[in-house]
């Protein structure tokens, strides 16, 4: 089998034919060199916008191949400009490595003509001053990013809704030449982000790709494999509702309205999950041989805080039983089980108790039997009855809650609030089902100065399943709130002295709660 000729890079320089033919024509490069055939109107608008404008910001629905086309543009810029520097970034290293750079590696390997250089996980070197590199947009990487000045610079910001304004400012300081470019793409998640503000800026070209702009949805059949489908859109319309923050963000590519009555804003959930990935990546930086599971174990060993276990119990053959371990502000990956008996679930609570975890379980229905079985083995369980009346108030003391379920979800909202210092905000594991379940419920203000959460039956009907993951996650908060005076032992759990000394007094004054 003959080797493809390397015509795009020869003696560390692009051939003149490449520069002449493709330098100003990214569409031809993507078609002829990369061999990509899945272009549609809006993707072409984005590609040409980057070629013709110094700064382009784009937002799109889920499954619109935004990252794929950004990878195409990155390779076009790199291979048609001598000594070019392509700097790519995203909120976390996982997103850099597994999203944009996975696409770059695939496109490079499947190109119709052999491309010079050998791409690594996040770097492609063509010469001493000619390369592409991917870096996470963390605060500690700011100095590294700002060092990449050069004569031809392209800064690509992926998942840009989660990127801080300081990184955008760095990008603007890097891309100062007439042929330099900046492109930012993402989902419409945080209406208050720097990224969202760019859609109102006069000096940025703007592209919006909704699900209804994509070929699979337009023609109601698969045109481009893997892209969002008409069936998916219809399913989410019925499940989420056209006015929900999830539908607006993931289907219409519109930012959720800041006044929207979501129990927990989608952007707060996304930020908490991004922070989790950053922490896992920090652990793995010390030893690249660590699996994600091993990194989670190490992180848990290092994390300080009270150990809580939220439990949402399902009967045999119904939904899932979910265990949600938490250490202080760090929520660990959820454990899901199906078809377990009360004794088996109680056994898992007992095991966790021996590891120092205090359990809080929903005791409506079969959950009561689980609590009793754990108690029989000497393990206390905080009993959560979501329909019970709440006498608590929100962190500001402005309003109360109609029931305990509303209280717990609102408490989780407060723990994710960007108004908290970053080291006090709760951190959530990356879990798309959990994200969906936390983002779906809405609330209303009712007579008496209280908040009322959408009832569980309504949430379940829209989701098409029980929100087991979200319920177990918020149930873990009942350990701190006490609580609830439903502990089987009737004794309020005591906060560890070290944690109490360092945080209790300041947190009580801010939130009226005990962490």
Task: Examine the pLDDT at 498 and tell me if it is beyond 60.
Answer: no
In this structure, are 241 and 270 located in the same domain?
no
Kind plus residue range of the DSSP H or E element containing 342? helix 342-354
pLDDT tens profile 113-130: 888 888 899 999 998 889
Q: Which residues does 16 contact at the CB level (< 8 Å), separation at least 6?
A: none
What pLDDT does 151 receive? 83
In this structure, are 229 and 288 located in the same domain?
no
Please state, in angstroms and rounded to a whole number, the distance separating the CA atoms of residues 320 and 297.
Answer: 24
Q: Select from 205, 35, 187 the least CA-distant residue to 99.
A: 187
Task: Examine the pLDDT at 106 and tell me if it is beyond 60.
Answer: yes
In this structure, are 351 and 472 located in the same domain?
yes
Task: Examine the pLDDT at 48 and tell me if it is beyond 70.
Answer: yes
Q: What angle do CA 22, 26, 29 make, to 5 degrees?
A: 60
Paired sense of beta strands 130-136 and 152-157, if any: unpaired
What pLDDT does 512 receive? 31
**Token pair 């908490």: residue:** 272
Tell whether 162 is covered by a domain.
Answer: yes
Average pLDDT over residues 145-149: 69
3-state secondary structure of 155: strand
In this structure, are 204 and 280 located in the same domain?
no
What pLDDT does 245 receive? 85
Please state, in angstroms and rounded to a whole number, the distance separating the CA atoms of residues 278 and 262.
Answer: 26
**Token pair 């177990």: residue:** 472
Task: Examine the pLDDT at 7 and tell me if it is beyond 70.
Answer: no
In this structure, are 231 and 165 located in the same domain?
yes
pLDDT classification of 158: cutoffs 50, 70, 90: very high
What pLDDT does 25 receive? 94
Percent of the chain having pLDDT more than 70? 86
What pLDDT does 314 receive? 84
What pLDDT does 9 receive? 55
pLDDT higher at 416 or 338: 416
CATH of the domain at 68: 3.40.50.300
> DSSP label at 258?
T
- Please state, in angstroms and as integers, the Cα–Cα distance from residue 361 to each residue in 51, 264, 385, 405, 472, following that order: 56, 21, 9, 12, 8
In this structure, are 221 and 305 located in the same domain?
no
Q: Which residues does 73 contact at the CB level (< 8 Å), separation at least 6?
A: 26, 46, 47, 50, 154, 156, 183
Tell whether 256 is covered by a domain.
Answer: no
In this structure, are 314 and 403 located in the same domain?
yes
In this structure, are 423 and 282 located in the same domain?
yes
Average pLDDT over residues 444-473: 91
Strands (E), 307-348: 307-312, 321-327, 330-331, 335-337
CB 274 within 8 A of CB 325: no
Domain count, the chain: 2
Tell whether 101 is covered by a domain.
Answer: yes
3-state secondary structure of 205: strand
In this structure, are 20 and 110 located in the same domain?
yes
Tell whether 498 is covered by a domain.
Answer: no
Total Cβ atoms within 10 A of residue 45: 17
Total Cβ atoms within 10 A of residue 492: 14
Tell whether 504 is covered by a domain.
Answer: no
CATH of the domain at 354: 3.30.420.240
Average pLDDT over residues 425-431: 96
Tell whether 492 is covered by a domain.
Answer: no
Q: What is the pTM of this model?
A: 0.76
Mean pLDDT of the chain: 86
314 lies in which domain range?
A: 266-479
Main-chain phi, psi angles of 391, to 5 degrees: -115, 15
**Residue 243 class from Cβ within 10 Å (0-12 exposed, 13-18 middle, 19+ buried)?**
exposed
Tell whether 258 is covered by a domain.
Answer: no
What pLDDT does 19 receive? 63
- Please state, in angstroms and as integers, the Cα–Cα distance from residue 154 to each residue in 24, 50, 309, 340, 371, following that order: 14, 10, 47, 54, 58
- Please state, in angstroms and as integers, the Cα–Cα distance from residue 341 to each residue in 347, 349, 369, 372, 403, following that order: 10, 13, 10, 13, 29
Tell whether 499 is covered by a domain.
Answer: no
Average pLDDT over residues 160-164: 91
Task: Examine the pLDDT at 284 and tell me if it is beyond 70.
Answer: yes
Q: Would you give the distance in Å from CA 366 to the centre of its chain?
A: 33
In this structure, are 447 and 324 located in the same domain?
yes
Task: Examine the pLDDT at 502 and tell me if it is beyond 90.
Answer: no
Main-chain phi, psi angles of 232, to 5 degrees: -65, -45
Please state, in angstroms and rounded to a whole number, the distance separating the CA atoms of residues 38 and 148.
Answer: 32
In this structure, are 295 and 219 located in the same domain?
no
Task: Examine the pLDDT at 199 and tell me if it is beyond 90.
Answer: yes
Average pLDDT over residues 362-378: 93
Average pLDDT over residues 254-270: 84
pLDDT higher at 489 or 139: 139
pLDDT higher at 482 or 165: 165
Most confident of 49-63, 129-143, 316-330, 334-348: 49-63
């Amino acid at each position: 089998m003959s080797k493809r000729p390397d015509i795009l890079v020869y003696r560390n320089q692009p051939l003149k034919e490449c520069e002449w033919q493709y330098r100003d024509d990214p569409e031809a490069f993507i078609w002829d060199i990369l061999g990509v055939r899945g272009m549609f109107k809006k993707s072409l608008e984005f590609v040409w916008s980057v070629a013709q404008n110094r700064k382009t910001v784009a937002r799109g629905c889920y499954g619109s191949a935004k990252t794929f086309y950004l990878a195409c543009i990155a390779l076009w810029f790199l291979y048609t400009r001598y000594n070019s520097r392509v700097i790519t970034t995203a909120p976390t290293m996982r997103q850099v490595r597994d999203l944009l750079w996975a696409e770059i590696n695939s496109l490079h390997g499947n190109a119709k003509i052999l491309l010079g250089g050998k791409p690594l996980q996040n770097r492609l070197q063509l010469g001493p001053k000619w390369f592409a590199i991917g870096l996470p947009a963390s605060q500690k990487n700011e100095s590294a990013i700002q060092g990449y000045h050069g004569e031809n610079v392209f800064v690509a910001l992926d998942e840009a809704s989660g990127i801080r304004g300081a990184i955008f400012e760095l990008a603007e300081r890097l891309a100062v030449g007439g042929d330099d470019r900046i492109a930012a793409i993402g989902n419409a998640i945080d209406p208050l982000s720097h990224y969202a503000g760019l859609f109102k800026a006069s000096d940025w070209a703007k592209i919006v790709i909704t699900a209804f702009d994509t070929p699979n949805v337009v023609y109601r059949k698969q045109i481009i494999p893997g892209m969002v489908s008409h069936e998916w859109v219809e399913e989410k319309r019925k499940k989420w509702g056209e006015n929900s923050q999830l539908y607006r963000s993931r289907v219409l590519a519109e930012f959720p309205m800041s006044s929207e009555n979501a129990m927990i804003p989608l952007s707060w959930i996304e930020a908490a999950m991004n922070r989790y990935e950053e922490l896992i990546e920090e652990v793995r930086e010390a030893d690249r041989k660590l699996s994600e599971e091993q990194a989670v174990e190490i992180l848990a060993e290092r994390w300080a805080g009270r150990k809580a276990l939220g439990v949402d119990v399902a009967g045999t053959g119904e939904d899932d039983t979910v265990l949600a371990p938490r250490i202080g502000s760090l929520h660990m990956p959820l454990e899901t089980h199906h078809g377990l008996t009360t004794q088996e679930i109680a056994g898992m609570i007992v095991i966790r108790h021996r590891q120092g975890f205090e359990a809080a379980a929903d005791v409506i229905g079969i959950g009561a039997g689980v609590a009793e079985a754990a108690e029989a083995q000497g393990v206390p369980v905080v009993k959560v009855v979501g329909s019970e009346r709440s006498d608590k108030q929100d962190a500001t003391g402005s309003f109360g809650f109609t029931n305990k379920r509303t209280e717990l979800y609102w408490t989780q909202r407060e723990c994710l609030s960007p108004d908290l210092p970053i080291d006090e905000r709760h951190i959530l594991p990356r879990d798309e089902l959990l994200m969906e379940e936390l983002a779906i419920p809405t609330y209303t203000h009712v007579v008496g100065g209280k908040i009322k959460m959408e009832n569980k039956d309504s949430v379940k009907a829209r989701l098409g399943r029980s929100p087991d993951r979200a319920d177990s996650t918020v149930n873990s908060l009942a350990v701190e709130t006490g609580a609830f005076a439903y502990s089987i032992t009737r004794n309020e759990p005591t906060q560890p002295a070290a944690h109490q000394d360092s945080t209790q007094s300041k947190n009580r004054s801010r939130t009226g709660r005990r962490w």
